[in-house]
C-alpha cells in the first residue's frame, strides 16, 4: 500500500472536511459496523487496522482485523461468504466505519445465522440476570460445523 491517510491535526477538518483521517485506537484498530445494503440489517461488528481499511477501499471487498487470530482477514476466505462493498462511511470524529455490503443470500455470522445480532434483550426493571432471558429473532441458515470444519472458534471467553 503506498498511500497514507491524512494526519489528524485539526478538529474542524476531521469533522467537516473531505479528507479521510481515521482514528485507530491504542491497539491500532477502528471499529466497523457492517450492514446488508438491501435490507439495511446490521450483519456484524468488527475491527480493521490501517492496512485492512486500505485493502477494503481498494479491493471493494471487506477485510477485517481478527483480534482472536491476530491477522488480517478477508471475510469469506473460508466460508465463501464474501462481502462486496457498496458504500463505506465514516463518522463525525472519524473513529468508526460503516460498511454497506452485498452478501447475496449468504450469511455473516460464524454461528450459522445471517446476522450476528440474532438475540434480543428484554427491557424494563430486572432483579437478577436469570430473569433476563433473551429472545432468538432469527433461524440458522447454514451449518457452521460443515462450513468451518477444522477451524478454531473465534469466540473467546
Residue 145 is a binding residue for its own copies (CB under 8 A):
no
Q: Tell me how far apart the alpha carbons of residues 118 and 63 are, in angstroms, rounded to a whole number.
A: 23
Residue 44 is a binding residue for its own copies (CB under 8 A):
yes
Is 139 buried (19+), middle (13-18) or exposed (0-12) by CB count in 10 A? exposed
Residue 70 is a binding residue for its own copies (CB under 8 A):
no
Residue 82 is a binding residue for its own copies (CB under 8 A):
no
Is 118 buried (19+), middle (13-18) or exposed (0-12) by CB count in 10 A? middle
Q: Tell me how far apart the alpha carbons of residues 138 and 46 are, in angstroms, rounded to a whole number.
A: 20
Among 43, 38, 18, which Cα is nearest to 98's? 43
Q: C-beta of 68: minimal distance to its own copies in Å?
A: 9
C-alpha cell at 15: 469533522
> Which residue, 9 or 149, has its beta carbon nearer to its own copies?
9
Rule CB under 8 A: choose which of 70, 80, 105, 127 binds its own copies. 127
Which residues are near its own copies by CB under 8 A?
A: 2-6, 8-11, 14-16, 18-20, 31, 33, 35, 39-42, 44-45, 57-58, 60, 85, 87-93, 95-96, 98, 109-111, 113, 116-137, 153-157
Amino acid at each position: 500500500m503506498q498511500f497514507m491517510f491524512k494526519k489528524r491535526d485539526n478538529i474542524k477538518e476531521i469533522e467537516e472536511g473531505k479528507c479521510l483521517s481515521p482514528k485507530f485506537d491504542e491497539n491500532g484498530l477502528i471499529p466497523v459496523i457492517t450492514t446488508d445494503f438491501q435490507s439495511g440489517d446490521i450483519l456484524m461488528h468488527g475491527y480493521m487496522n490501517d492496512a485492512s481499511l486500505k485493502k477494503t477501499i481498494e479491493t471493494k471487498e471487506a477485510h477485517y482485523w481478527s483480534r482472536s487470530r491476530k491477522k488480517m482477514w478477508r471475510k469469506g476466505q473460508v466460508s465463501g461468504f464474501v462481502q462486496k462493498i457498496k458504500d463505506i462511511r465514516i463518522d463525525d470524529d472519524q473513529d468508526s466505519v460503516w460498511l454497506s455490503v452485498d452478501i447475496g443470500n449468504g450469511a455473516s455470522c460464524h454461528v450459522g445465522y445471517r446476522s450476528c445480532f440474532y438475540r434480543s434483550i428484554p427491557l424494563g426493571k430486572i432483579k437478577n440476570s436469570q430473569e433476563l432471558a433473551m429472545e432468538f429473532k432469527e433461524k440458522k441458515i447454514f451449518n457452521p460445523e460443515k462450513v468451518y470444519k477444522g477451524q478454531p472458534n473465534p469466540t473467546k471467553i
